Amino acid sequence: MAILVTGGTGYIGSHTVVELIEKGKDVVIVDNLVNSSIDVIDYIKQITGKTVKFYNLDIRNEEALDKVFKENKITEVIHFAGLKAVPESVKKPLEYYDNNLTGTLVLLKVMRENDCKKIVFSSSATVYGNNGEIKYVETMERGKTTNPYGTTKSMIENILEDLYKSDNTWGIVILRYFNPIGAHSSGLIGDNPNGIPNNLMPYIQRVASGKLAELSVYGNDYETKDGTGVRDYIHVVDLAKGHLKAIEKLEKEENGLNIYNLGSGKGCSVLEIINTFESVNAIKVPYKIVERRAGDLPEYFADAQKAKKELNWETEKTLEDMCRDAWNFAKNH
Ligand code: NAD
Ligand code: UD1
């Protein structure tokens, strides 16, 4: 009996695998390493003392994926595998739709053929779109997405809903992540994107380590507490623990489709992140204020009550922890 983790050598996947192993779960990883390194398997071993079973394959390869199910008794799947860079998705929509949608369709088909009908899916707060609200709650409709990446998340949620309507023996948990940052306290695994990062924390890490000269803060004239953008940042280890709770729910219950926000429920500004990073790490992060970034919303954060009530999950780590752990990882990589 094993849990299949697609995209398990990636940023969130690797942290989740560590939490699963530490709770005594049997894990199998499938990843084609398009955005991660094989070294992560060794880091997971260093952290947990266990060698995790790993298959280097693309989830769109139906035959190979089917073999993984035949060789292992897979009871649940946590599905992280996908491409996630927003600007790249605008430039390469076909690649994004193919990877994220075809990948998910093949996975669901292979799961059904192998009578494995329990899945946790990595969705995003991006599916709420720009609907004028600041606090996002699961009862809100999905909104209009602004880029192909976000659209794939919204479409996959739709596919999962249709699948459940057609066959209510499935157990499906959709997790909508807010902004994951930070790293494992060992400093071995974390977020290390290729090229120049788009997201705030990886960019700060590169500036702090002197690889990039300064951070551009995208606008300080929003109607927010200090004029800069506000988001709900969540420590990746808290996020990983949310997956464990979702798996425990699927293990207990026969079926159902449930959607949960995974966020802290609190908004934090760009300047608050910079200041906290500087003070906990005693390091400067030079920055300049520039124009707003197209497509950015001023402010949003999670209503995290549903996950607390139904999954008995809430964030435990602070912004200080996130900034300290992010730097502890970055300075070694
Ligand atoms: P990541 O890129 O670090 O991890 C994704 C992993 O999937 C990578 O290891 C990559 O090699 C693998 N992969 C991609 N396509 C594959 C394919 N066709 N077959 C096999 N493996 C494949 O990203 P992450 O930050 O860990 O995100 C994990 C999931 O969570 C993604 O689906 C992402 O869209 C979603 N998500 C991430 C964030 C975020 O801020 N990081 C926010 C919301 C949702
Ligand atoms: C972005 C994506 C979202 C995706 C998420 C993954 C967009 C519009 N949205 O969210 O779909 O799910 O990443 O984590 O791309 N900022 C700066 N300077 C920088 C980088 C960011 O000031 O160099 C600001 C942004 O304006 C924003 C905040 O920092 O206010 C967070 O930005 P980012 O980390 O890119 O995440 P999101 O834009 O929230």
Q: What is the pLDDT of residue 193?
A: 83
Compute φ and ψ for 14, nearest 5 degrees. -65, -40
Distance (angstroms) between ligand 1 centre and the Cα of 298 equals 25
Of the candidates 43, 128, 149, 300, the residue annotated as catalytic is 149
Q: Give dist(CA 166, CA 183) in Å, integer.
A: 39
Q: Which residues contact 152 (CB under 8 A, 6 or more apart)?
A: 82, 89, 96, 97, 100, 101
Which residue, by CA, sits nearest to atom 22 of ligand 1? Answer: 81
Strand 179-181 versus strand 233-235 pairing type: parallel
| Helix/strand number for the chain, H first, E second | 12, 15
Q: Which residues line ligand 2 (CB under 6 A)?
A: 86, 124, 126, 150, 179, 198-200, 203, 215-218, 229, 231, 270, 293, 295-296
End-to-end CA distance of the chain: 35
Closest CA to 82 of 30, 37, 43: 30
In testing the pocket of ligand 1, which one of 57, 61, 84 has its CB within 8 Å of the most ligand atoms? Answer: 84
The answer to whether 102 touches 152, Cβ cutoff 8 Å, is no
Average pLDDT (7-19) is 98
Q: In Å, what is the CA distance from 14 to each residue of 143, 154, 235?
A: 30, 24, 14
Q: What is the pLDDT of residue 195?
A: 85
Largest separation between any pair of C-alpha atoms in the chain? 56
Whether the per-residue pLDDT at 132 is higher than 90: the answer is no
Q: Which residues contact 50 (CB under 8 A, 6 or more apart)?
A: 21, 44
In testing the pocket of ligand 2, which one of 179, 217, 225 has its CB within 8 Å of the most ligand atoms? Answer: 179
| pLDDT one-digit tens code per residue, 27-68 | 999 999 999 999 999 999 999 999 999 999 999 999 999 999
| pLDDT one-digit tens code per residue, 156-198 | 999 999 999 999 999 999 999 999 999 999 999 999 888 889 9
Q: What is the pLDDT of residue 333?
A: 85
- Of the pLDDT bands very low, low, confident and very high (cuts 50, 70, 90), residue 206 is very high
Q: What is the pLDDT of residue 192?
A: 85
Coil/strand/helix, residue 286: coil
| Residues facing residue 27 across a β-bridge | 3
Q: Which run of H or of E encompasses 230?
A: strand 230-231
Which residue, by CA, sits nearest to atom 35 of ligand 2? Answer: 199
Distance (angstroms) between ligand 2 centre and the Cα of 112 equals 36
Closest CA to 261 of 219, 204, 300, 224: 300
The answer to whether 127 touches 294, Cβ cutoff 8 Å, is no
| pLDDT one-digit tens code per residue, 241-273 | 999 999 999 999 879 999 999 999 999 999 999
pTM, full prediction: 0.98
